[in-house]
Structure 1
Amino acid sequence: MSDQGTTLDRDSGGPLSGIVVADFSRVLAGPYCTMLLADLGATVIKVEGPTGDDTRQWKPPQRDGESTYYLGVNRGKHGLQLDMKNPDDLQTAYRLIDTADVFIENYKPGGLEKFGLDEASVAQRWPRLVHASITGFGTQGGASLPGYDLLAQAVSGMMDLTGSADGPPQRMGVALFDVVTGLHAAVGILAALRERETSGQGQHLSLDLLSSALSGLANQTSGYVGAGNVPHRMGNEHPSLFPYGPFDTNDGQLVICVGNDAQFRVLAGELGRPELAEDPKFSTMPERNRHRSELRGIIEDVLRGRGSDAWFRQLREAGLPCSPILDVAGGVDFAHELGLEPVVYAGSDDDAVPGIKNPIGFSRTQVSYSKRPPGVDQDREAILDWLAQRADHGTGSPFEQTTAE
């Protein structure tokens, strides 16, 4: 796509430079996906309805009056507010999609049909467009279910798996399946763009929280569909590995992860109990799992002789996977200590917003954090001017051709 001289068209230097994304999504799954695409250089136009993205009101916490929930998943985007019940705004939506490579939305199933933006209408009007739809539970039996992450945690089995063995089910501390769905959406969009290079055709992508949740449960759902095993809450225990989890020391807990017999031999030696690795009850993973209660008692008897930090340093130097249990602040600080530089600033120096960096590192192209999350309708004039310029230069409607009647 050619440079028409506006900030929206400038070469970002990222691997997705030149890709235009019309982002009609809200809350977390869609915005997380499109933030990743913006980080990688795509031009993302965030379209909000008359009341704005719900997450703008999700406070606390807040930074200078703005919700950090909203700020955390919307950097790099250009903001435009549209009321699609207004004919002029609906035409603006069409003009935006005219110039886009990707159209992403998370409306309720059927919610866009009255605007001519349902799957069939989009495919006919914009046959080269990649159209991604995110729902909570699909478009058939679950079409009427609201797409909240907590509901997906509840019905997928995640809550039943989370918490103490003798306690009630627990939600996770983050809307994980929204994030997983956003990641799946980004992968699907990139795949569809790649396929379009050879076929010349766009396509519709459908994603839902429950399918992403069942996929994300990985070994737990695999154990059920492959072996009929219905897992149960085990607190911090792992169903297939031991020692694997937090263990008591004399001033707290230390997480130790033993994934094979060789690592267990190292642990036994560091604990001053090398004979444990030769004991038939503990020498193999299946036997350690069978005798985990006895082995836990032996390990914690030794660990209680010193503090967590001392054990962490010793076991880490021995090459054993282990870690202290930190709060979120400690986690960010630990990443700093490791040289991972987890915090980035989006925007110019005078209004930059801190956030967590995109975790993908490229050796040649770059990740961009040049634009802070937009305010409501912040970039209207620039976007409308950009759309007009693209139309004047013949690039405004690259996908207008429809199939023959």
Structure 2
Amino acid sequence: MTHPLDGVTVVALEQAVAAPLATRNLADLGARVIKVERVDGGDFARGYDHVVHGTGAHFVWLNRGKESIAVDLKSAEGRAVVRRLVERADVFVQNLAPGAAERLGLGAGELRSARPELVVVNLSGYGTGGPMEQRKAYDMLVQAEAGLISITGTPEAPVKTGIPTADIASGMYAAQAVLAALLRRWRTGEGATVEVSMLEATVEWMGHALYTQMHTGSQPPRMGLSHSSIAPYDAFPTRDGQVLIGVQNDSGWRTLVTEVLGIPELADDPRFATNVQRVRHRAECDALVAARTAQWTTADLDVRLAAAGIPAAQVKELDQVVQHPQLRARDRWRPVGTEHAPVEALLPPATFTDVEARMGDVPALGQHTHALLVESGMDPATADDAISRGVALQAEHCRTAPAL
């Protein structure tokens, strides 16, 4: 069976997380993604660390299934190569600093004046215009500006999320926009210019917290693992650790105390019979639950809770997630090649029943440069000369023909 995006070509002038995540999603769906990198080190994410057989963990996560061409965009030759590749593409994605693509002759207006059917996606920190347009927009900074940090953490201390939430949010919206734009183009022939702001993507994810602020005048407090409007909803001790329990309705409370914890007298206790009362008496409620959960081991309590249909989970460390029995039982891991050694990668969450995601290799810097120079219109000798002069960089140990 064909992949959903077979035949679609994407050129990406990208770095870090947001745009690479967007285009990796497209590559998994079958698109051909040509990643344009700097000759002096490539995508910054290559050098964040070297923990995956010498390659950065961020880069391995975000760049499978792509072809890498490394060219000097400060040179007219390098810019011309990228321009010719874009002229053959369906989609152009970039997340350079504001105005940089335009200065390179790769702005949406210029590109689409020649090819109105092209889909151009510009990712930025704060969007075009406004007082913050030119500000640096790293993930932590955007989390702060979006209010995410203010509601994350404990009452004593705010924290950022443990993953790059702002980058991920904007990358997902960018991939979604590409799919929508391609669908419209296949219907009408019309391309699109799309802008995705990290700030706006993250504020959208603030959801209920933002509406609470707007309509009550107060933002939800930082609750750690607890919940501002539900109880019991927290981590509770066991004999050898802890279990998270989240009871979201009154029938669940009755089941918890009667079938699991063995304290049926609390089911109709006026302090706890309704969620409103349990939240009002949260400290008492949590203390009574904790006193009972502490008599079981984590594994035993987890089994009891699951059997009773009570929402619960163990707080797993990442080594446990790698071996998570649900992921292993569903055969969700696949081998993916990297520059130095194969690694395991998780299949994308959206599962097509008739075709598996295209889990391509993670490219070395400039792995496909020579072939893509030729594809852009150079003859092989001219491509060799451009590489020898430093206009482009080829990973000689793995010269590879581009995917077709």
Q: What amino acid is the match of 1:186?
A: A
Q: Does 1:59 align with 2:49?
A: yes
SS in structure 2 at match of 1:89: helix
Report deviation, 1:349.
Answer: 12
Report deviation, 1:225.
Answer: 2.7
Once the two structures are superposed, the pairs formed by residues 29-178 of structure 1 within 5 Å of their partners are 29-51=18-40, 52-60=42-50, 62-140=51-129, 141-165=131-155, 167-178=156-167
Change (3 A) 1:339 1:353: same
Q: Partners of 1:338 and 1:289 in 2: how far apart?
A: 38
SS in structure 1 at match of 2:5: coil
Q: Does 1:315 align with 2:305?
A: yes
Q: Are 1:108 and 1:143, in contact at CA under 8 Å, matched by a contact in 2?
A: no
Deviates more, 1:71-80 or 1:217-226: 217-226
Q: Are 1:335 and 1:342, in contact at CA under 8 Å, matched by a contact in 2?
A: no
Q: Does 1:16 align with 2:5?
A: yes
RMSD of aligned Cα (Å): 2.0
Pick from 328, 343, 355 the counterpart of residue 353 of structure 1.
Answer: 343
Q: Partners of 2:247 and 2:19 in 1: how far apart?
A: 37
Q: Where does residue 396 of structure 1 map in the other structure?
A: none
Q: Partners of 1:120 and 1:148 in 2: how far apart?
A: 26
Structure 2 residue runs without a partner (length 5+): 379-404
Deviates more, 1:336-345 or 1:280-289: 336-345
Structure 1 residue runs without a partner (length 5+): 1-11, 390-405
Post-superposition CA distance 1:201-260 (Å, at most 9, x none): 111111111111111122111212344331221221111211112112222210011122
Change (3 A) 1:156 1:275: same
Pick from 269, 272, 278 the counterpart of residue 279 of structure 1.
Answer: 269
Q: Partners of 1:205 and 1:284 in 2: how far apart?
A: 47
Q: Are 1:15 and 1:366, in contact at CA under 8 Å, matched by a contact in 2?
A: no
Q: Partners of 1:254 and 1:160 in 2: how far apart?
A: 26
How many residues are paired up? 375
Q: Are 1:135 and 1:208, in contact at CA under 8 Å, matched by a contact in 2?
A: yes
SS in structure 2 at match of 1:323: strand
Change (3 A) 1:18 1:226: farther
TM-score under structure 2 length normalisation: 0.88
SS in structure 1 at match of 2:267: helix
Q: Partners of 1:57 and 1:68 in 2: how far apart?
A: 9
Q: Are 1:332 and 1:342, in contact at CA under 8 Å, matched by a contact in 2?
A: no
Q: Are 2:18 and 2:167, in contact at CA under 8 Å, matched by a contact in 1?
A: yes
Report deviation, 1:332.
Answer: 2.4
SS in structure 2 at match of 1:217: helix
Q: Partners of 1:340 and 1:178 in 2: how far apart?
A: 28
TM-score under structure 1 length normalisation: 0.88
Q: Are 2:235 and 2:244, in contact at CA under 8 Å, matched by a contact in 1?
A: yes
Report deviation, 1:334.
Answer: 1.8
Q: Does 1:224 align with 2:252?
A: no
